[in-house]
């Protein structure tokens, strides 16, 4: 009888809505584990970067909106940039797939315009994901304006996820 009461209490506490108590280093470590698993499953680093960058900017935006008083000039933008930097930069050494491309504009190889450049695919994907999250509200406003100030249900989140999904499919198989 006592174990039934404990079981019922545990289920009740589990189902009771609670405040999230997450910490950024823990989120970053979780993202690193998920990214490593995704790499192992064959997902390209640029796609992983896309979602990590989008997550980092979204987290910074959420934190920026939750602080009601402005203590610094451009406080929200600084928090977004800080969130991006503190989430993405620690993952760059772990996710190091790079790609090289040769740029041939004019002159000999090795000159300023003719070189082989190496780019970190994870970092490029992160920047694209951050850009998508930043531009989605603007696209959503334009879409609402085109629809005579009528919004679709869950328009903002649907638009953001659709853009992220389409870009990720292009990066994975394009």
The domain locations on the chain are 24-173
Tell whether the model's pLDDT for residue 170 goes beyond 50: yes
Cα separation of 64 and 136, whole Å?
17
Predicted confidence band of residue 2 (pLDDT cuts 50, 70, 90): low
Per residue in 11-28, pLDDT (tens digit) is 554 554 444 444 456 666
CA 164 to chain centre: 9
At 91 the pLDDT is: 87
Q: How far is CA 122 from the centre of its chain?
A: 11
pLDDT by residue (tens digit) across 155-167?
A: 988 999 999 999 9
Supply the pLDDT for residue 4: 64
Residue 118's DSSP bridge partners are: 100
Cα separations in angstroms, 50 against 124, 126, 165, 172: 8, 5, 10, 11
Task: With beta carbons less than 8 A apart as the criterion, state whether 50 and 38 touch.
Answer: no
Render pLDDT for 53-83 as a digit per residue (tens, 0 to 9). 999 999 899 888 889 888 889 999 999 999 9
Q: In the chain, how long is the greatest CA-to-CA distance?
A: 85
- How far is 120 from 99, CA to CA, in rounded Å? 7
Residues whose CB is less than 8 angstroms from the CB of residue 88 and which lie 6 or more positions away in sequence, other chains included: 49, 52, 53, 56, 123, 126
Q: Is the pLDDT reported for residue 149 higher than 80?
A: yes
pTM (predicted TM-score): 0.76
The confidence score (pLDDT) of residue 19 equals 46
pLDDT above 90: residue 99 = no
Q: Which residue has the higher pLDDT, 30 or 172?
A: 172
Query: Among 82-86, 111-115, 144-148, which is the least confidently predicted range?
Result: 111-115
Percentage of the residues of the chain whose pLDDT score is greater than 90: 44
């Amino acid at each position: 009888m006592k174990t039934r009461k404990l079981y019922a209490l545990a289920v009740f506490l589990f189902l009771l809505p609670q405040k999230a108590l997450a910490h950024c280093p823990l989120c970053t470590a979780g993202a690193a584990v998920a990214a490593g698993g995704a790499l192992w499953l064959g997902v390209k680093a640029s796609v992983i970067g896309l979602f990590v960058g989008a997550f980092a900017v979204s987290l910074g935006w959420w934190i920026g909106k939750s602080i009601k008083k402005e203590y610094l000039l451009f406080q929200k933008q600084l928090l977004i940039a800080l969130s991006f930097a503190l989430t993405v930069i620690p993952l760059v050494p772990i996710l190091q797939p790079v790609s090289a491309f040769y740029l041939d504009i004019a002159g000999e190889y090795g000159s300023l315009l003719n070189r082989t450049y190496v780019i970190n695919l994870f970092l490029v994907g992160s920047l694209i994901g951050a850009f998508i999250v930043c531009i989605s509200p603007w696209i959503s406003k334009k879409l609402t304006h085109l629809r005579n100030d009528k919004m679709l249900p869950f328009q903002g989140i649907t638009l953001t996820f659709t853009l992220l999904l389409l870009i990720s499919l292009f990066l994975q198989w394009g």
